[in-house]
Amino acid sequence: MCGRYTFAVDPADLAEVLPGYEFPADVRPRYNIAPTQNVAVVANDGERRVQLFRWGLIPSWAKDPAIGARMINARAETVAEKPSFRAAFKRRRCLVLADGYYEWRKETGGAKKTPFHIRLKPAPSKETRGVQRSRPFAFAGLWETWDSPDGGPLRTCTIITTTPNAALVAIHDRMPVILAPRDYAMWLARADTPPATLAPLLKPYPADEMEAVRVSTFVNNPRNDDPRCIESD
């Protein structure tokens, strides 16, 4: 699953990935994003801007918004059939913006779990003369609008997961679907898209383009949200 992630990129780097999109000025670097918090997304609603949706999808037909806390992920293998996700998979898709995510490896012979920060391998930046920066990317996401009886419309989202690639299989048996930039346009198409057209995108990201860095248990507490979360242990 994907239950915690980071999004602390330089806005200039994000502009290279999403040219022509408006980026809100009040979005601050986040090093420990947790479910039910507001997260940065690009939705296929015709708006060329980054918006904030609540992480944890609430289907439009839900009676209780608490269901969202259990709907932070959707499995690629069943997303086209599950009642909670199938309509959104056809017509309400989004990019959930990130620059890394956390996973915890279960250690043999005990209850201990070791946290890792998983991200794209860094590339040298021309602007900083070789200093490496985090690379932004996008998870494949779905979104819905839920009409709250007392608070108006609420937009929520979920992140699709798949089987891990060869580099990550020893850490966890799932990984989020990371979309290649060339696939953004298809994922953000506004028209209904047949599941068979989208299914090939829901695959593990290439292992040779990713790295997993062991970090300290400082990240275990979701209240900790600063650069210490991603420091190597």
Of 22, 81, 103, 144, which is the active-site residue?
Answer: 103
CA–CA gap between residue 148 and residue 202 (Å, rounded): 31
What are the structure tokens assigned to 69, written together? 């806390």
Task: Give the pairing of strands 152-162 and 51-55.
Answer: parallel
Is residue 94 among the annotated active site residues? no
Q: Is 38 exposed, middle or buried (0-12, 13-18, 19+ CB in 10 A)?
A: middle
Q: Is 81 exposed, middle or buried (0-12, 13-18, 19+ CB in 10 A)?
A: exposed
Q: Which DSSP string corresponds to 17-68?
A: HSTT-B--TTPPPEEEE-TTSEEEEEESSS--B-EEEEES---TT-S-GGGG
CA–CA gap between residue 168 and residue 233 (Å, rounded): 18
Is residue 2 among the annotated active site residues? yes
- The residues that are catalytic are 2, 103
